[in-house]
Amino acid sequence: MKIGILISGRGSNMVALVDAAKSDEIPDSEVVVVISDNPDAAGLSKARDRGVEALVIERKGRSREDHDLEIVSALREREVDLVCLAGYMRLLSPEFVNAFPARIVNIHPSLLPSFPGLDAQQQAIDQGVKISGCTVHVVDEFLDNGAIIVQQAVEVRDDDSAETLAARILDREHIAYVEAVKKIASGRLRIEGSRTVFSG
């Protein structure tokens, strides 16, 4: 399975996936390209250090569709089977989503459907929930929507700041994302309506 990863920043989830594919923890898979919309993304050099092609495709005032179609072309040229969003800070156009039906996944730092959108960890603290976590889900054209593949729960402590909670969730993200991609690579995950079912 050829994987393409889209990032906008730090790229720690991308690194977790690249390393898991290289070590065969995710069997029969390879990350063939990392694409960032942000030329300053720290993840770009982390990908290159690992021998993975890393491209910058900036929006540059274009429409979302035009920007997305350039990214879709780059992914198709490399025969990517699965697109993983990993801290990619843009909503995909319907054209992008339709180019890879049910083959785009995202990670979000909350237990969806709670706290979609930006600052999910601060939203959880403000709401006073005692448990939060992370979600890997199939991407559709709506923000942080789509069938859930894997979730991991994290305790919210009374003295947590958004930063301390984010750090604890991030540790779980790296595990959850690898687990989700392993499930997809196994060919035993299917989508049934609004949910995924794994026949393990």
| Residues near ligand GRF (CB under 6 A) | 7, 9-13, 43, 86-87, 107-109, 170, 173
Tokens of 9: 């920043």
- How far apart CA 198 and CA 192 sit, in angstroms, is 10
Which position among 67, 108, 137, 174 bears the catalytic label?
108
Please give the structure tokens belonging to residue 186.
């196994």
| Nearest distance in Å: CB 140, ligand GRF | 16
Q: How far is the CB of 107 from ligand GRF (least distance, A)?
A: 4
- Annotated active-site residue 108? The verdict is yes
Token pair for residue 25? 């923890």
Of the two residues 95 and 119, which places its CB atom closer to ligand GRF in the complex?
A: 119
Residue number closest to ligand GRF, CB atom? 87
Give 38-95 as a DSSP string. -TT-THHHHHHHTT--EEE---TT--HHHHHHHHHHHHHHTT-SEEEESS--SPPPHH
Q: How far is the CB of 73 from ligand GRF (least distance, A)?
A: 24
* Rounded Cα gap, residues 11 and 188, in angstroms: 28
Q: How far is the CB of 34 from ligand GRF (least distance, A)?
A: 11
Catalytic residues: 108
